[in-house]
Amino acid sequence: MPRIDAPTVAEHHARQRRALLDAARALLAETEDVPSMAAVGARAKLARTSVYQYFASADELLAAVVADVFPDWSGQVRARVAAEQTPALRVWAYVEATVDLFSSREQVLARTLTRVVGPEVLRGPMQEFHAGLQVPLREALADLGESEPDPMAALVDAVIVRAAQEIGHPGAGGAPREVVLSRVRRLLGGYLGLEA
């Protein structure tokens, strides 16, 4: 019988499942292709047969990754927004957090998932992610006194997408994160009442 390295069997299983999801996410981002169950098991330090105790197939594993990543990404943004005290700082936290997310290595994972996972698996989680992601922005804009938080949120998101596209790695033609965010702050800082 395998050694249980948690206080309960349920917690052990949760840890093993988490390790497999993390391994699959990392391999998807690194290889930009569907990893084998053996590769996922090896990355998680589990036998290939153990992987099948948690996921019956690679398709089931990919669906679990999809169900895991979108709430994780949304949670990262929400946590940064919630940490700020004023509506203006919450809007700015949203801008920074979303630019960071959209320009991070996680986007390689997102692109890979859209290529290797069927649209029927992606559609629901992706729609929920995009709809839910704007909630803290719209709330912060409303708290700021914005009379049209929905269209203003759409405009802010358009700026964020463009800003994230401008961020690049040295030698790749992109601008550093600080430069891009400085431009966005010059654009939005007056509206938000933030110091330069």
What's the CATH number for 65-192? 1.10.357.10
Fold of the CATH domain 1-56: Arc Repressor Mutant, subunit A (1.10.10)
pLDDT at res. 5: 67
Query: What's the pTM?
Result: 0.84
pLDDT at res. 7: 74
- The tokens for 149 are 């938080």
Alpha carbon distance 68, 90 (integer Å):
25
Residues (pLDDT < 70) of the chain are 1-6, 169-173, 196
Q: Scan for tokens 């708290």, then name that residue.
A: 143
DSSP 88-150: HHHHHHHHHHHHHHHTSTHHHHHHHHHHHS-HHHHHHHHHHHHHHHHHHHHHHHHHHT-S-HH
What are the structural domain ranges in the chain? Answer: 1-56, 65-192
For the stretch 23-56, pLDDT in tens is 999 999 999 999 999 999 999 999 989 999 999 9
* Nearest to 62, CA basis, from 37, 42, 38, 44: 37
